[in-house]
Chains A and B, each alone.
Chain A
Amino acid sequence: MADAQATAKAAPHAHGAAGIAPSFGIARLALYALLVVLAFLFLMPVYVMVVNSLKPLDEIRSGNLMALPQAWTFEPWLTAWSTAQIGVQPTGLRPYFINSFLMVVPAVAISTLIGALNGYVLTQFRFRGAHLLFAAMLFSVFIPFQIVLIPMAKTLGILGLAGTVKGLVLVHVVYGIGFSTLFFRNYYAAFPNELVRSARMDGASFFGVLTRILLPNSAPIIVVTVIWQFTNIWNDFLFGVSFSDFSSFPLTVALNNLVNSSTGVKEYNVHFAGAFIAALPTLLVYLLSGKYFVRGLMAGSVKG
């Protein structure tokens, strides 16, 4: 017992379940050394991306990927952004970056709203098949989207939305319902019922409960959903490559074209700059709100 108390005192802010006693010198040192080495390994690919996007091409060919630039240049970024050959025209990634934004903003907004509404209905009202409906939505999160590609392509064609950003918005809204509903349903299931009940007693309408009670208390789950949907939709490749054309490619598809279909000289520095441009929005979101990103991941993995 004395031992356990001593350990607890030595680490007053500890929340781990078990651990090497913090006072143990060599083991601690080895632990930190290992963690730092691993951290370097995890950071290395992005370090390589950034450093080599700021080098002239011959410096990459003659030097090594780990070295800092000798002649710093912003040229690869400008090329990747505005002059690299992606479609027929040397437009750079800019128009596709815009496509991705035009796709992601409405898709995230609409699917989050739908999720909130569904979560509200599924937790506050009883109706036949509610449980089955939720299970059906939940499973839709896991399906391999290859199974819907052919009929969805046909549907978009019939609707006149094939090869358009609008079509991609529709697709992402449809296949985002599962996740956004899951997030809100689980959040509202744990919401204190007395608040909703007393609002109803005071005569709040259907929408009154939603807009005055639930939504004002939903900030965390709204953030989680927005971040999750933003990251997923921004990073999507399969729908983008299946349903868009040169005018409506999202950024991931354009980046893949830039890197994989370039003929002649491989401009590694431009590829790295392009990859980093594509990574920036989601990376920024992650850095600014990593906590919510993790919550989304957890909610998406531990269901129920």
Chain B
Amino acid sequence: MRAGFLPKLLISPSALLVLVCVYGYIMFTVYLSFTTSTMMPSYDLAGSSSYKRLLGLENWQVSLVNLGTFALLYIAIAGALGLALAILIDQKIRAESAFRSIFLYPMALSLIVTGTAWKWLLDPGVGLEHTLHSLGWEAFSFGWIKNSDMAIYCVVIAAVWQTTGFVMAMFLAGLRGVDTEQINAARVDGAKTWQIYLRIIIPQLGPVFVSAFVILAHMAIKSYDLVVALTNGGPGRSTWLPSVFMYQYTFTRNEMAVGAASSVLMLLAIGLIVLPYLMSEMRKVKNG
């Protein structure tokens, strides 16, 4: 039905809010990134000087390297573990829904809660190291969270714990949609279970791999809460991510233009990953 006045009127507040508060604000932040803004927004244009400054800052370079390490490991481990869990769960097991719920429940928690729990679990003075010492394993040492070379891996551990169940759920949905005829035929031909997974089932999960990658990659780039709660960026700046950098430079170091520029680069990175995906998904819907 053609929309009359009333439907258009009723959707316009939402349209306006999204237009202004998402796209308008993005333009505003992009504009600020080309100004001399410090503590307060300023409208004096300064060309690309804040981008030049940003790219030269060691804090930004460290944040980028950290994000690379974190994103790579997080996506690879959460993806692989999620797929493995989905395959285990898919073996016609008993208490399937109980296992599923256990692997997925961390997704319901705030990352601040996750960060707090893992902060003390990984703390050598009170957590795992301390526990194993008191159980008699004196030589055990696990102090990554206090070590600036290793702390970023602690962020990976906690993030993997939080989201693996989500990846599992995605793969499980994919596994349940796999064509069974081919599998039965392969089984009749005497194929082993692992061969069936490797040659028939996993190749059919391509779209799930793409979705999982997009979701995990965009979560990695946006990661902020977990780092704040777990390490607060430390020791030193060893677990800074672009999100931490943005907050620091914008709100505590009074370099708003640089902070704005960093958020623009974050948006660009996410756009590069998400937009092709969204476009292909929407095309699929259009075509049936």
Which A positions have Cβ atoms within 8 angstroms of B? 1, 3-4, 7, 11, 13-20, 22, 31-32, 34-35, 38-39, 42-46, 48-49, 52, 60-66, 114, 117-118, 120-122, 124-127, 130, 133, 135-140, 142-152, 154-155, 174-175, 177-178, 181, 200, 206, 231, 234-235, 237-238, 241-242, 252, 255-256, 259-260, 266, 268, 271-272, 274-276, 278-279, 282-283, 285-287, 290, 293-294, 297-298, 301-304
Contact = CB atoms under 8 A, between A and B. Distances in A.
B135 interface: yes
Contact of B250 (A63, A150, A303, A304): A150
Given A42-B161, A45-B118, A139-B275, A147 B88 contact: no
Contact of B188 (A4, A15, A45, A278): A4
Interface string B162-191: 000110011001011010100110011000
Contact of A16 (B113, B114, B176, B221): B176
Nearest to A284: B108
Contacts of A302: 170, 173, 211, 281
Contacts of B201: 17-18
Given A126-B3, A252-B225, A271 B131 contact: no
Interface of B: 1-4, 6-8, 10-11, 14-15, 17-19, 21-26, 28-29, 32, 41, 85, 88-93, 99, 101-121, 126-128, 130-132, 134-135, 161, 165-166, 169-170, 173, 175-176, 178, 180, 183-184, 187-188, 193, 196-197, 200-201, 211-212, 215, 218, 221-222, 224-225, 228-229, 232, 243, 246-247, 250-251, 256, 259-260, 262-264, 266-267, 270, 274-275, 278, 281-282, 284-285
* Interface SS of chain B: helix
A136 B18 CA distance: 8
A278 B112 contact: yes
Contacts of A126: 1-3
Contacts of A38: 85, 88, 103
Sort A-B residue pairs by CB-CB distance and give the 7 closest, nearest first. A125-B3, A64-B131, A235-B110, A286-B108, A127-B3, A146-B263, A237-B225
A181 B14 contact: yes
Contacts of B175: 16-17
Q: Which of B22, B104, B115, B178 has the largest count of A CB atoms less than 10 A from its CB?
A: B22
